[in-house]
Structures are given as C-alpha cells and as structure tokens.
Structure 1
Amino acid sequence: MSSVDWRGAWTAALDELEMDVLAVETLLADERRLAETPPSNLWLPPTELGALPLELRPRADEILTRQLAAAEEIARRITANRQQTAVTARIETGEAVKRPVYLDCAM
C-alpha cells in the first residue's frame, strides 16, 4: 500500500468515525429526535490499515475525546432516567410501600 493510499485509508476511517460521534452528539442535543431514531449500525474498525499516520494523531485524539464525552453524557442520562423512574414509581402509589386502604361506607 503506497503512503498516499495508506493516508487516504486512515483519513476515510477517521471520517467515518467522526460522523458516528457527530450523530451521537446531535441525538444527545435533541431528545425528541433521540426517542424517534432507531439505533445505527455498529462501527467496525477497518482492517489492514497499519499504523496511524503521525499527522492524523491530533484528529484521532480529538475524535476519541468527543467519543468519551458522548459516552459520559449517555451514562449520565441513563442514571438520571433510572432515578426518575424510581421517583415516578413512588409517586404513583403515594408511598414506598403499598398498604391496604379501607373505606367505611356504613356511616
């Protein structure tokens, strides 16, 4: 593989990865769209590319930083969702423990 093909292959791989992280960031910014959008295809790393060209390292590092931030935001939202679900479950019954309630209609 020539150095031009090698660099081009890595650039294309980073383009694809960057588009994936941009899609996640866009979904996180729009909750309605997040609820209506089906999951995307799983990204698979390209094979036989060899080592990352040194000049592409800053871009790859920036994409990794964005991926980690998006993953952290997803984890935060999952935690918030679970907490909200627990609160909602308690609100629906009015108590944490369900107890029988009797109404004396004889009076």
Structure 2
Amino acid sequence: MPAKPITLGQVHFEKRGDAIAFLQSILERYDLGDRVSADDAVFLKAALENHPESDRKIGCGIADFSVRSADFGTKCFWVNRTDGTTEKFSITASIRG
C-alpha cells in the first residue's frame, strides 16, 4: 500500500506515520495540565480538523489545547472549546482519518 501524504499547518509529511510521530513529539514536550503553545496549536487544529468526528470534537469552536490524562494512565491532547467544555482526541484518529 503506498504512503499517504498529509499536510499539517505549513508542514507536509510524505507518510501519515511521520505526522503521527511529529504530533507525539509535541505531546512529549508537555506535562499534564499544560496549555499548548500557539505555535503547536496550529498543527493540532489542522490534525483535529482531519479527525473523523471533527465536527463533534470541535463543537462550538476551539479556544485552545491542553495536555491531560487519557485512558490507561497515558496523556493526550484535549481541545478546550469556546464555551468552556473540553474533549480529548486521538492523534492517530486525527491523522489516519
């Protein structure tokens, strides 16, 4: 199966696996409870817009992103909506669609 390219923000990846690794490297830079920087949020927004449930995940709009606990003691990105609600999302689902 040929590689499927994807572009996040201004960065183009020849393989989706490379985009996943890139987003995981961003996740590793943050501690639980941290807000994601505006520069990193550009990539997260682009990834979230590709998520198969993007409309539901984004909801009323994106205020910012943070890193919080996920299932099984891991950490993941959370979208913080403009109405104060939050929703976690999977990096892999966002890239693989």
TM over 0.5, yes or no? no
- Structure 1 or 2: more strand by fraction: 2
Greater relative CO, 1 or 2 (CA 8 Å, sep 6+):
1
- Structure 1 or 2: more helix by fraction: 1
Output the TM-score relative to the length of structure 1.
0.28
